[in-house]
Amino acid sequence: MTATCPQCTASDEAVAVPEALADARRPLDEPVRAQLAAPLLLPPEPEGVGGGAITCYVLAGLVGLLQLRSLVAEKSRDEEVRDAAYQAGAVLGPWIVVALLLGIGVAVQVARRRRRAAKARAAGLPTREEWSPELRDQRKRQFRVWEAAWLCRRCLVAFFPDGAVRPDFPASPAIPVGEFPLWVVTAAERAFGPEAMAPRT
Ligand SMILES: [Zn+2]
């Protein structure tokens, strides 16, 4: 299938958007790729534990293990040191270190989650908690529109040929790449939104 660019009225550089994104021989510039990217259909991956927190937990586990071993060893050893304060320090000290390491691990993890949530908000992505069936349907509608989009590599504009979105949808004008995401959102609701699908009265 070919399509004609509404700006240069040629079809030699026009290519379907999904195809343009997948073309490894002529990769698009990163900013253009970002604007043309497919609407996200799945909720974001659940967050794993970050490397910093894991290091803290592993260290806490090691200190705890060493301390348990030395406790066992001490029982069989002659009780040379009888100073109560020294003994309390020797026994409690490592456990305080363990508690501190665990605390730092949790704090690092909370900070990481906050950073990621802020990043997702800045990118306009819903968090896992915000993901709902309505949002998923909305994204599916946007995906249908996105699939029908074309790109003219010469003009760097997106466009929808006549009837591409829906058989009764007229051709779009040339859409600057920067306006493409908003165009997809708007066209998705116009073409497939609850109002468009409701029976006409
Ligand atoms: Zn063109």
CA of 153 to the centre of ligand 1 (A): 7
Task: State the average pLDDT over residues 137-163.
Answer: 95
For the record, the structure tokens of 104 come out as 């730092």
Residues with Cβ–ion distance below 5 A, ligand 1 = 5, 7-8, 152, 154-155
**10 dihedral zone (left: phi>0; alpha: psi -120 to 50; beta):** beta
pLDDT for 77: 56
- Taking the domains of the chain in order of start, what are their residue ranges? 14-43+131-197, 51-122
CA of 158 to the centre of ligand 1 (A): 9
CA of 70 to the centre of ligand 1 (A): 75
How confident is the model over 89-141, as pLDDT tens digits?
A: 777 888 898 999 999 999 999 998 888 878 877 777 777 777 788 888 899 99
8 A C-beta contact, residue 50 and residue 58? no
Which uninterrupted H or E stretch holds 16?
strand 14-16
How confident is the model over 166-183, as pLDDT tens digits?
A: 999 999 999 999 999 999
CA of 9 to the centre of ligand 1 (A): 6
How confident is the model over 47-67, as pLDDT tens digits?
A: 678 888 999 999 999 999 988
CA 137, CA 123: separation in Å to the nearest integer?
A: 20
% of the chain at pLDDT higher than 70: 89
Q: Quote the DSSP letter at residue 198.
A: S
Q: Is 28 helix (H, G, I), strand (E, B) or coil?
A: coil
> Which 3-state string (H, E, C) describes 133-189?
HHHHHHHHHHHHHHHCCEEECCCCEEECCCCCCCCCCCCCCCEEHHHHHHHHHHHHH
